[in-house]
């Protein structure tokens, strides 16, 4: 039997309060996941209000369609990359949007489902593609990229032992390709143990691989650029990030937009989850929400 996967939406009250500026508008949830934030938005909107939910992963889009069925035509679902939000919105006949949400990264289902290859704990193939049609996998990076590229990738994602890890990967793959997440996790633990720290020593390498496989920073930058002309005056863009590299992109881009004119920061400092939320949902610990409004 198919396991029942769950995902608890992060900063959901804050998103509803800060994103909705008109109850009958058309909103876009660019990272639909299982539809948690979309459902909360639809509950708060009037019967005329609607949400277009976009997810790059066809499996998530199908799950969300099932979860959001009770909302009928008020919940529209599209499979695609939010970096192409302009084309997706135009296909759906949407010309002006009242608010857009990006809740970045991957869903709990991605971590929990071993076959997707995102998790150090749940052993699976070195995959990590959000959209399984993409050509690049973590396997290709680990088994084919040259030393310099692997070392650079994991260094920019904050791994201090990037040289040691990249060298160990190249030594190991000379004997046989590295196939699974547990194999890679164990190799990193051997060459770069982080005695006493709470996170697994391979955490930063896994994050770096996921970001590269899904060109996440590029999607984020393009997504923001594409949203800008689609928002109507008074509409807002809300972005939840989960690590400092993507938060820096959002912070700097929003700050440039505000300086350019025509945009106002709604959150001068990022909104963070309450202690109560982080106790109830570990994944929320590193979340930061930033919101900007079109004037």
Ligand X SMILES: C[S@@+](CC[C@H](N)C(=O)[O-])C[C@H]1O[C@@H](n2cnc3c(N)ncnc32)[C@H](O)[C@@H]1O
| Closest distance to ligand X from the beta carbon of 78 (Å) | 9
Nearer to ligand X, 103 or 277 (CB): 103
| Closest distance to ligand X from the beta carbon of 127 (Å) | 13
Rounded Cα distance between 186 and 114, Å, is 16
**Tokens in use for 122?**
């749940």
Residue number of the CB closest to ligand X reads: 33
| Closest distance to ligand X from the beta carbon of 31 (Å) | 3
**Tokens in use for 194?**
């982080």
Nearer to ligand X, 57 or 127 (CB): 57
| Closest distance to ligand X from the beta carbon of 111 (Å) | 10
CA 29 to mean position of chain CA atoms: 12
What one-character DSSP code corresponds to residue 122? S
Query: Which of these, 182, 28, 5, 12, lies nearest to 92 by C-alpha position?
Result: 28
- What is the rounded (10 degree) CA torsion for 241, 244, 250, 255? 140
| Closest distance to ligand X from the beta carbon of 286 (Å) | 12
Which spans of this chain sit near ligand X (rule: CB under 6 A)?
7, 9, 30-31, 33-37, 54-57, 60, 81-83, 103, 105-107, 130, 219
If one counts every other C-beta atom within 10 angstroms of the C-beta of residue 67, the result is: 17
Nearer to ligand X, 7 or 226 (CB): 7
Q: Which residues is 71 bridged to in the sheet?
A: none
**Residues of the chain by 3-state class (helix, strand, coil), percent to 5:** 50, 15, 35
Nearer to ligand X, 172 or 211 (CB): 211
Distances (CA, A) of 264 to 105, 202, 237, 259, 267: 25, 39, 11, 9, 9
Distances (CA, A) of 211 to 74, 113, 177, 193, 221: 32, 18, 21, 23, 13
| Closest distance to ligand X from the beta carbon of 273 (Å) | 14
Question: Angle, to 10 degrees, between the axis of helix 36-44 and the axis of helix 58-68?
Answer: 40
Nearer to ligand X, 105 or 273 (CB): 105
| Closest distance to ligand X from the beta carbon of 192 (Å) | 28
Query: Which of these, 47, 51, 40, lies nearest to 17 by C-alpha position?
Result: 40
Nearer to ligand X, 36 or 273 (CB): 36
| Closest distance to ligand X from the beta carbon of 58 (Å) | 9
Nearer to ligand X, 35 or 201 (CB): 35
Nearer to ligand X, 21 or 281 (CB): 281
């Amino acid at each position: 039997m198919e396991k029942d996967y769950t995902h608890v939406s992060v900063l959901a009250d804050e998103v509803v309060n800060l994103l909705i500026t008109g109850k009958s508008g058309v909103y876009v949830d660019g990272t639909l996941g299982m539809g948690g934030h979309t459902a909360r938005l639809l509950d708060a909107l009037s019967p005329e209000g609607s949400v277009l939910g976009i997810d790059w992963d066809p499996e998530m889009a199908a799950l969300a369609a099932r979860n959001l069925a009770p909302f009928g035509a008020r919940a529209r679902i599209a499979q695609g990359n939010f970096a192409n939000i302009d084309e997706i919105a135009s296909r759906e006949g949407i010309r002006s949007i009242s608010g857009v949400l990006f809740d970045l990264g991957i869903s709990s289902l991605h971590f929990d489902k071993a076959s997707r290859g995102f998790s150090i704990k749940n052993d699976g193939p070195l995959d990590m593609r959000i959209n399984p049609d993409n050509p690049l996998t973590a396997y290709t990076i680990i088994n084919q990229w040259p030393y310099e590229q692997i070392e650079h990738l994991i260094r920019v994602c904050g791994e201090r032992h990037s040289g040691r890890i990249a060298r160990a990967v190249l030594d190991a793959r000379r004997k046989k390709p590295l196939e699974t997440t547990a194999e890679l996790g164990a190799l990193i633990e051997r060459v770069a143990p982080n005695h006493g720290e709470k996170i697994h020593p391979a955490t930063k390498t896994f994050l770096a691989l996921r970001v590269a496989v899904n060109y996440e920073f590029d999607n984020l930058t393009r997504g923001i650029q594409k949203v800008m002309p689609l928002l109507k005056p008074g509409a807002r863009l809300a972005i939840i990030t989960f690590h400092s590299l993507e938060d820096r992109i959002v912070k700097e881009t929003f700050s440039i937009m505000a300086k350019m004119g025509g945009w106002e920061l709604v959150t001068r400092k990022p909104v963070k989850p309450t202690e109560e939320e982080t106790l109830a949902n570990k994944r929320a610990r590193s979340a930061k929400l930033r919101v900007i409004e079109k004037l």
